[in-house]
Amino acid sequence: MPRRLAAAGLVAGALLIHADTLADDGGSRATPRTMRVAVVGAAPTSRAIAASELEDRIAAMPSFQRATFGADPDAIRRRVLGEVLVPDALLALGAQPAVANAVDRSMAEATVRAVRDALGPAAGISMDDVRAYYERNRARYDAPARYQVWRILCKSSDEAQAVLDAAKADPTPKTFAQLSRDHSQDKATALRSGNLGFLTDDGTSSEPGLRVDPAVVRAAEGVQDGVIVPTPVAEGEFFSVVWRRGTTSAQKRKVDEVATPIREILRRERAKAKLDELVASLRAARVHDLHEEILDAVDLGAVPDASRLP
More confident residue, 102 or 157: 157
Mean pLDDT, the chain, as a whole number?
Answer: 83
Helix, strand or coil for residue 204? strand
Amino acid at 124: G
Distances (CA, A) of 98 to 15, 52, 65, 109, 282: 18, 25, 31, 17, 21
Backbone angle region of 209, left / alpha / beta, with phi > 0 → left and psi within -120 to 50 → alpha: left
pLDDT tens profile 182-228: 999 999 999 999 999 999 999 999 888 899 999 999 999 999 999 99
Looking at residue 152, its pLDDT comes to 98
Alpha-carbon distance of 213 to 242, in angstroms, equals: 12
DSSP classification of residue 295: G
Alpha-carbon distance of 82 to 100, in angstroms, equals: 26
* DSSP-assigned letters across all residues of 148-175: EEEEEEESSHHHHHHHHHHHHHS-SHHH
Alpha-carbon distance of 174 to 159, in angstroms, equals: 19
Alpha-carbon distance of 36 to 26, in angstroms, equals: 8
More confident residue, 175 or 36: 175
- Total Cβ atoms within 10 A of residue 219: 23
Q: What is the pTM of this model?
A: 0.45
Alpha-carbon distance of 179 to 151, in angstroms, equals: 10
Amino acid at 144: P
Among residues 246, 203, 214, 240, the alpha carbon closest in space to that of 227 is found at 246
- Span 133-161, average pLDDT: 93
Give the CA-trace dihedral at 132, 137, 142, 147, to 10 degrees: 170
More confident residue, 304 or 106: 106
pLDDT-derived band at 10, boundaries 50, 70, 90: very low
Contacts of 263 (CB under 8 A, 6+ apart): 122, 123, 125, 130
Looking at residue 101, its pLDDT comes to 59
Query: 50 pairs with which residues across the strands?
Result: 36
Contacts of 14 (CB under 8 A, 6+ apart): 87, 279
Cα angle: 13, vertex 15, 16; to 5 degrees: 85
Structural domains for the chain:
3-121+270-308 (no CATH), 145-249 (3.10.50.40)
N- to C-terminal Cα distance for the chain?
Answer: 42
Peptide bond before residue 97 is cis, with ω within 30 degrees of 0:
yes
Looking at residue 2, its pLDDT comes to 47
